[in-house]
């Protein structure tokens, strides 16, 4: 692996995971794959999506034309990077699909109530 890239990955709190506390990968483990040619590739471990039911404190929101998940996260959760919490609370693997159709009712989790295990399964 390129040493500059390896250094960048390792500088993320020594885990290789993103260091922003609002990242869904914050604190995630890294793993390494060594190919047949001996080249090592470091990657983030898979994140298992939590069950939507772990978000017990939510509110409903009806999507209007022009809504975007990052803007809804900024408005309701105080950080556009927390869009993934809205996706998780709705068991959505395609986050953008949540705001595709005006009239869809989605669950908005309370930012102060991030359940244990929501980040890294």
Flag the least confident range among 1-15, 26-40, 68-82, 102-116. Answer: 1-15
Tokens of 87: 């996706």
**Domain layout of the chain by residue ranges:** 3-44, 52-113
What CATH number does the domain located at 52-113 have? 3.10.350.10
pTM score, whole prediction:
0.60
Helix (H) or strand (E) holding 20: none
pLDDT in tens, 43-91: 777 666 666 676 777 789 999 999 999 999 999 988 888 888 898 889 8
Of 46, 47, 48, 44, the closest CA to residue 9 belongs to 44
């Amino acid at each position: 692996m390129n040493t500059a890239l390896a250094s960048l990955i390792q500088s993320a709190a020594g885990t290789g995971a993103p260091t922003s506390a609002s990242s869904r990968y914050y604190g995630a483990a890294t793993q390494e794959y060594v190919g047949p040619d001996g080249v090592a590739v470091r990657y983030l471990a898979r994140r298992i999506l939590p069950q939507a039911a772990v978000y017990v404190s939510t509110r409903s929101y009806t999507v209007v034309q022009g809504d975007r998940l990052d803007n809804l996260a900024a408005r309701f959760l105080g950080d556009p990077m927390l869009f993934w919490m809205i996706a998780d609370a709705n068991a959505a693997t395609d986050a953008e699909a949540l705001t595709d159709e005006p009239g869809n009712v989605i669950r908005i989790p309370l930012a102060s109530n991030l359940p244990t295990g929501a980040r890294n399964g």
